[in-house]
Structure 1
Amino acid sequence: MAQVPTPVEPVDPGQQLWETTEEITMDRVRRYARVSGDRNAIHIDAAAAAAAGLSAPIAHGLLILGIVVRHADDWVRDRGGRITGCDTRFVRPVYLGDEPVTLYVTAHLVGAGHIAATASVLDADGSTQRAILRPIRISYSDGRPDDVSADRQPRG
């Protein structure tokens, strides 16, 4: 028997949907490298990163994007929907060191079927944010068979 989707609660465009933090550690990056198969040494070895012109190893971009999309997926699925697409551009890497890096993720509703999420790295004291991705445009369907709004993702 097909499951009836949970009705989407009304939210207004511009309304914040969630904010959260995630720790990015060298151990997390190593585990991601193993499961993803992306073992490029710039992600786990300081000498390889330096040889590539980087000041330190960097987290995988898809690890960071995956964290953001996972939070979006949780929000959308809780409302009976599904993600239908996303679009972003990386603007700077997430440099890794001995201490965990704090990733700050937030999102707001753009309009029906569209979320804009951001991902920033916080300074150690949590006061300064540095964006690492252009705002991530995430489209979703509310789960109704007649919902096509998510197929028309705004550009800009």
Structure 2
Amino acid sequence: MQAVWVALIAVLGTLAGSIATGVMQRFHAERALARDREHHRQQRQLDVVCSFVESIAELRRRQIWRWSTRRDRGRDSDDYRESKDACFQARAASRGCLLRLQLAGLPEGLVQQGKAVFEVSITIEEAADVDELNRIAEVAREALESFVGEAGRFCSRF
């Protein structure tokens, strides 16, 4: 009879150990999955911010090129039409990146700052003269740098 009790206790102990191990493995697997999801979300946000910054830098460059081409060669030149088309492409790409900023779950203040950077960047080509071009381009550059600083502070919390 004593052998039966010993065997029963051994079986119950093994069963309890298996259950405890299963519960702990599930707990650790859920934590690892949550950590991986959070890391993926953070990486996606960082990628979106980087894409936006790159697209705005390209938009600024193309806006300045468009303005310079219009001044140097006139609105009827092929170069101007090419620069205008390139500007529209850059604007569309930047707007797409701006929408991705909104969808990525970034703080609303950062998204609003991104919108402001976009808006000031598209006004570059409207400058009346070189001085105004330089002023607007500088405002756009400073706005972009401010956005990068704020985004960097947000992303450094990762």
Larger Rg: 2
The two structures have a TM-score, normalised by structure 1, of 0.27
The two structures have a TM-score, normalised by structure 2, of 0.27
Q: Which has the higher helix share?
A: 2
Q: Which has the higher strand share?
A: 1
